[in-house]
Amino acid sequence: SARFIICLSLLIFFLACITYHPLKKYIQDWNTLRPVPGAEGAYPIIGNALQFSSNAGDFFNQIIEGTTEYRHFPLVKVWIGPLPLLVLFHAETVEGVLHSSKHIDKAFFYKFMHPWLGTGLLTSTGDKWRGRRKMLTPTFHFSILAEFLEVMNEQTEVLIQKLEKQAGGDPFNCFNYITLCALDIICETAMGKKIYAQSNSDSEYVRSVYKMSDIIVRRQRAPWYWPDFIYNLLGEGKEHDSRLRILHSFTQSVIKERAENLENTGSDNETDHVFKRRLAFLDMLLQATDEEGNYLSHRDIQEEVDTFMFEGHDTTAASMNWAIHLLGSYPEVQTKVQQELEEVFGSTDRSATVDDLKRLRYLECVIKETLRLFPSVPLFARTVGDDCRINDFNIPKGVDAVIIPYALHRDPRYFPDPEEFRPERFLPENSTGRHPYAYIPFSAGPRNCIGQRFAMMEEKVVLSSVLRHFSVQACQNREDLRPVGDLILRPEKGIWITLEKRQH
């Protein structure tokens, strides 16, 4: 009938309107990027998506094999669904993106973190990001970080007590021990809240932090999960929402409690005394103002607290675990670290001070070399903010560039015998003249990691304490580790070690 034909025509017209611009952009990008070398087998619209394994470990191996296969090319393109991705893993091309203030927006894939992290420091863009960064930078000042040392020492003591029960025994997986310690540290420093993760690893909040990371990564890799209306109907989408409620209600209640505590600091009760003594990032956020003198809303604060919680424990935990594996695999390096610890601490059992940490220069080289081989964030992505040229290729605005530190850090031009663990690479005399973008475990340029000094401080405290108390032996070869590159680089089956108690 005429009515049916009119309805059908309107529907076709409507579909043509909503698909015209995306389709036009897709065809333009396809033509502009044609000269860029790319992964083979890309189909129209779905791209290379079907070639990627759904298993996280296999997927990461595919990426690393690809960077090895294409290492002689300055950049490579891959299509995930209708979206082109540029893959960068050479210092010269990486600098082109990270150094520029035009390319500071995070890529499309980060939008799947928005339900959890909102648009805090990790995920925000443009003026909001610039304003937040300016406002939050003072909260990472060294004198403020020094206040957190007490928390780091206390939680490390709990860890040592847990590890003592394993000393002299069979091989065990230390991954969770270290991770729960890092979670306790970030909870108390970010929120001023003890969650006793090391004593209660079954906590619903702890489980939800891990689960949420897995859920986000699975969605990022599967274009058919991208539309919200489809995702929300699926079991995966429902689990995403229930985890989100747990995570948000926890941080909301802490912010509310902390804000009320701040208003009541006139009273002089016991909790108040602790509150004044122990500063947390949250307290600084509650008192921070923007350039117009406005305070952050509780929602704004929650974005940053959730971001700190996510960014601030998994990354350091993974790095400390990799370091323990490497120290346990290279006894000569471990001996050198322990000699340095004896020079600084003697045979005492005292906690580390800020001055002690400054003197642990060789341990710092060990941490840096660990982050070279196993960067906590193995890949991250930016959106190209303007038409530009990268290595003589025209790159259209809006294309996402994926930077792979894991491959970048293995460039033999800057790191001869790249698979070898050699902390001496990072002694000042061996670092001079190295390309500033050849080593970027904390990203680089205007959008580098705001928490890198916090991370280095925490890692030095925990690792120095473990190595003062124990000698570590690794029970896995490098091949057994199978790194899984989700949001964070983790070993597929944990880190297995044995510990021997050291005699002072």
pLDDT digits (tens, 9 = 90+) for 75-107: 888 877 777 888 899 999 999 899 888 888 888
Which residue range forms the structural domain that includes residue 425? 33-501
CB atoms within 10 A of CB 260: 9
Mind giving me the DSSP string for 78-106? EEETTEEEEEE-SHHHHHHHHS-GGG-SB
- Residue 24 inside a domain? The answer is no
- C-alpha span between 334 and 324 (Å, rounded): 9
CA neighbor of 411 nearest in space, from 36, 38, 95 = 95
161, part of any domain: yes
Whether 9 maps to a domain, the answer reads: no
Whether 19 is in a domain gets the answer: no
b/e string for 117-146 if b means 16 or more Cβ within 10 A? bbbbbbbbeeeebeebeebbeebbeeeebe
Indicate the annotated binding residues for heme: 449
For the chain, list residues with pLDDT below 70. 1-24, 26, 29-30, 32-33, 35, 40-51, 53-56, 265-277, 504
- Measured CA to CA, the distance from residue 182 to residue 313 in angstroms comes to 5
Residues of each annotated binding site = 449
Tally of domains within the chain: 1
pLDDT of 26 reads: 65
Task: Determine, yes or no, domain membership for 28.
Answer: no
20, part of any domain: no
Q: State the pLDDT at residue 248.
A: 95
Residue 4 lies in a domain: no
Whole-angstrom distance, CA of residue 187 vs CA of residue 458: 13
Query: Structure pTM?
Result: 0.89
What's the pLDDT at 43? 63
- Specify if 473 maps to a domain: yes
- pLDDT for the residue 374: 97
Bridge partners, 472 (sequence order): 499
pLDDT at position 60 is 81
pLDDT tens, residue by residue, 178-229: 999 999 999 999 988 888 889 887 778 878 887 888 899 888 878 889 899 9
Instruction: Tell me the CATH number at 110.
Output: 1.10.630.10
